[in-house]
C-alpha cells in the first residue's frame, strides 16, 4: 500500500464507517417498523390478532441474526485469498441486492429470504473493514481500526435509525429499505474511490481460515462474547417497557432513551478502540467489571427519568467499550486466520442478541418485572468475565509451560 495523505486517509476511513452506518440501519430499522411490516405482509393475521402478527413478523429479525451467524465464517473462508478492497466491494454488492430485494419482495416468505441474504456479508464486512482501517492507520492500530468500522453502526443508532424509522412509518417500510440500499450503493462508490488496494493475508486460504476453529482459545473467546454481551441485549430488548412501566414516562420518550444508549455506544466504542491498542488484557477484564457495574446501576436507577437516561448511557458505553477489545482478542488468538477471527466476533454478537432477548423474556414472563432482565444481564456479564479470566489464565499457563521446557540438545557433529 502506497503512503496516503491525511485527507486520503480520512476519506478512506469515512467510507469504511459509512458501510457500518448502513449495516446499522439495515439491522435495526426493522424493530421500529415491525408493526407496519406485519400490517402490510400479514394483513389477515394482523386483523385477527396484532400480537400474533407482530410475533410472526419478528422472524425478520431472527432471520437476519441467523444470516449473520452463518455468513460471517462462510465469507471469511471463501474470501481468504482475495485482496481486502475486492472483498469489501463484493460484500457491499451483496448488501445492495439483499436490501433492495427486502424492499421489493411481494410476500412475507420472500422478504424473510431477502433478509437472510442481506445479513450474510454483515460479519465479514466488519472483519475486512476493520483490518483495512487498521492497515491505513498503521501498526498497533487493530483496536482503533475496528472502532472505526463499528463507529458507523453506533452513529446509525443515534441518528440514522430514528430518521429512517420515521420515514418508513410515514411513507412506507419499503421506501425505508430502498433508501438503505441506496446508502449501501453510495458506500460501494466511496470505497471504490477512496480505499487503497491492500493485498490478501500472506498464505491465506479457506483451509487456513477454518483452521482457526481447531484452536480452543477461539471458541473460548467467542463464548465470552456470546454470553458476556448477552447482558446488553437483555436490557436493550426491553427498554421500551422499562421506559413506560418502570420509569413512568410516555411512549414518545422511548426514542430518546435509545438515543442515550446510542450516544453511550459511540463514546464507549471510541474509548475501547484506544484502550485495547494500549493494553488488551486490561481493557477486557476491567471493561467487563465496568460493564457489570453499569447494569447494576441501570437496575437500581431506572425507576426515575434521570436514572433511566443515565443508566442507558452507561450500559451503552460500557458494552461497546468491549467491542473493539473482543474483536482484537479474537484476531490475537487466531493469528493465521485474521478474517475468521474478525468475522466470528459478529456471529458471537448476534448469538448474544438472541440469548439476551430470550432470557430477558423468560424472567418477564415469569412475573419478575421489567427490571429483571437487567439482573439477568449482570449474571451474563459475570459469566463473560469468568470466561475471559479462564482464557487469559490458560494463555499464561501455556506460556509458562512452553518457557519451562528444556531446549533440545544440539546435534553431535
> What pLDDT, in 10s, does the model give residues 220-232?
888 998 899 889 8
Query: In sequence order, what DSSP letters do the residues of 72-87 get, joined into one string?
Result: HHHHHHHTTTS-HHHH
One domain, residues 288 and 191 = no
Three-state DSSP state, 106: coil
| Confidence check: pLDDT of 70 > 70 | yes
**Dihedral in degrees, nearest 10, Cα atoms 356, 359, 364, 367:** -160
Distance CA 169, CA 227 (A): 34
One domain, residues 394 and 312 = yes
One domain, residues 137 and 156 = yes
One domain, residues 253 and 309 = yes
- 156 part of a folded domain: yes
Mean pLDDT of all residues belonging to the chain: 84
Domain C-terminal end among 200, 215, 234:
200
411: number of Cβ within 10 Å: 5
Q: What is the pLDDT of residue 307?
A: 95
- 47 part of a folded domain: yes
- 409 part of a folded domain: no
Give the residue with greater pLDDT, 341 vs 217.
217
In the block, which residue shows the cell 458505553?
317
Distance CA 86, CA 82 (A): 7
Residue 2 pLDDT level (bands cut at 50, 70, 90): low
Residue 337 pLDDT level (bands cut at 50, 70, 90): low
215: number of Cβ within 10 Å: 16
This prediction has a pTM of 0.76
- 105 part of a folded domain: yes
Taking Cα atoms as reference points, which of 358, 363, 257, 366 lies closest to residue 301? 257
- What is the mean predicted confidence (pLDDT) over 13-28? 91
One domain, residues 71 and 89 = yes
One domain, residues 216 and 178 = no
pLDDT tens, residue by residue, 152-208: 888 887 888 888 888 888 899 999 999 999 999 999 999 999 998 877 666 555 666
Q: How far is CA 283 from the centre of its chain?
A: 18
φ/ψ of 134, rounded to 5, equals: -65, -40
One domain, residues 31 and 106 = yes
Q: Find all residues with CB under 8 Å of 277, minimum gap 6, and list them.
A: 140, 141, 142, 143, 144, 328
Query: In sequence order, what DSSP letters do the residues of 218-253 get, joined into one string?
Result: HHHHHHHHHHHTHHHHHHHTTHHHIIIIIS---GGG
Greatest mean pLDDT range, 34-38, 88-92, 321-325, 371-375 = 88-92
- 412 part of a folded domain: no
Q: What is the pLDDT of residue 413?
A: 43
φ/ψ of 204, rounded to 5, equals: -70, 140
Count up the domains in the chain and report the number: 2
One domain, residues 26 and 77 = yes
pLDDT tens, residue by residue, 90-137: 999 999 999 999 999 999 999 999 999 999 999 889 888 888 888 888
Taking Cα atoms as reference points, which of 217, 164, 252 lies closest to residue 333? 217
One domain, residues 166 and 217 = no
Give the DSSP letter of residue 304.
Answer: S
Q: Find all residues with CB under 8 Å of 272, minimum gap 6, and list them.
A: 143, 147, 283, 287, 320, 321, 322, 323, 324, 325
Domain C-terminal end among 200, 225, 243:
200
One domain, residues 250 and 161 = no
Q: What is the pLDDT of residue 192?
A: 95
One domain, residues 87 and 222 = no
Domain that holds residue 99: 1-200
Distance CA 353, CA 62 (A): 10
Q: Find all residues with CB under 8 Å of 56, minimum gap 6, and list them.
A: 38, 42, 45, 108
Residue 76 pLDDT level (bands cut at 50, 70, 90): confident
pLDDT tens, residue by residue, 46-66: 888 776 777 677 788 778 888
- 9 part of a folded domain: yes
Query: 329: domain CATH number?
Result: 1.20.1250.20
- What is the mean predicted confidence (pLDDT) over 280-293? 93
- 48 part of a folded domain: yes
248 burial level (CB within 10 Å; 0-12, 13-18, 19+): exposed
- 411 part of a folded domain: no
How many residues appear in the chain?
413
One domain, residues 223 and 355 = yes
Domain C-terminal end among 180, 200, 220:
200
Amino acid at each position: 500500500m502506497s503512503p496516503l495523505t491525511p485527507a486520503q486517509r480520512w476519506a478512506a476511513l469515512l467510507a469504511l464507517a459509512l458501510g457500518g452506518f448502513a449495516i446499522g440501519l439495515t439491522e435495526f430499522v426493522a424493530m421500529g417498523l415491525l408493526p407496519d411490516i406485519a400490517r402490510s405482509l400479514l394483513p389477515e393475521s394482523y386483523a385477527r390478532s396484532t400480537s400474533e402478527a407482530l410475533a410472526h413478523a419478528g422472524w425478520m429479525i431472527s432471520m437476519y441474526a441467523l444470516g449473520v451467524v452463518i455468513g460471517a465464517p462462510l465469507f471469511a473462508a471463501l474470501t481468504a485469498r482475495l485482496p481486502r478492497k475486492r472483498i469489501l466491494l463484493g460484500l457491499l454488492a451483496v448488501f445492495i441486492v439483499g436490501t433492495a430485494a427486502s424492499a421489493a419482495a411481494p410476500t412475507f416468505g420472500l422478504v424473510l429470504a431477502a433478509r437472510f441474504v442481506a445479513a450474510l456479508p454483515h460479519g465479514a464486512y466488519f472483519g475486512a473493514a476493520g483490518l483495512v482501517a487498521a492497515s491505513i492507520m498503521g501498526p498497533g492500530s487493530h483496536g482503533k481500526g475496528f472502532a472505526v468500522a463499528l463507529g458507523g453502526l453506533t452513529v446509525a443508532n443515534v441518528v440514522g435509525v430514528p430518521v429512517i424509522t420515521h420515514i418508513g412509518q410515514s411513507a412506507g417500510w419499503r421506501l425505508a429499505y430502498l433508501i438503505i440500499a441506496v446508502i449501501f450503493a453510495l458506500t460501494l462508490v466511496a470505497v471504490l474511490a477512496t480505499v487503497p488496494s491492500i493485498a490478501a493475508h500472506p498464505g491465506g486460504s479457506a483451509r487456513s481460515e477454518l483452521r482457526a476453529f481447531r484452536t480452543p482459545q477461539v471458541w473460548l473467546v467467542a463464548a465470552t462474547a456470546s454470553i458476556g454481551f448477552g447482558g446488553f441485549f437483555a436490557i436493550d430488548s426491553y427498554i421500551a417497557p422499562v421506559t413506560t412501566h418502570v420509569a413512568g414516562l410516555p411512549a414518545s420518550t422511548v426514542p430518546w432513551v435509545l438515543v442515550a444508549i446510542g450516544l453511550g455506544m459511540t463514546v464507549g466504542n471510541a474509548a475501547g478502540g484506544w484502550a485495547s491498542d494500549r493494553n488488551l488484557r486490561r481493557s477486557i477484564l476491567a471493561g467487563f467489571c465496568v460493564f457489570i457495574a453499569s447494569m447494576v446501576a441501570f437496575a437500581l436507577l431506572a425507576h426515575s427519568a434521570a436514572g433511566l437516561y443515565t443508566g442507558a448511557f452507561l450500559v451503552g458505553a460500557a458494552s461497546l467499550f468491549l467491542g473493539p477489545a473482543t474483536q482484537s482478542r479474537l484476531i490475537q488468538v487466531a493469528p493465521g486466520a485474521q478474517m475468521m477471527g474478525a468475522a466470528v466476533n459478529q456471529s458471537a454478537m448476534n448469538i448474544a442478541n438472541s440469548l439476551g432477548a430470550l432470557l430477558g423474556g423468560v424472567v418477564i414472563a415469569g412475573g419478575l418485572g421489567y427490571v429483571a432482565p437487567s439482573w439477568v444481564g449482570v449474571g451474563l456479564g459475570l459469566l463473560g468475565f469468568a470466561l475471559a479470566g479462564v482464557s487469559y489464565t490458560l494463555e499464561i499457563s501455556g506460556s509458562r509451560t512452553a518457557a519451562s521446557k528444556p531446549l533440545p540438545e544440539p546435534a553431535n557433529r
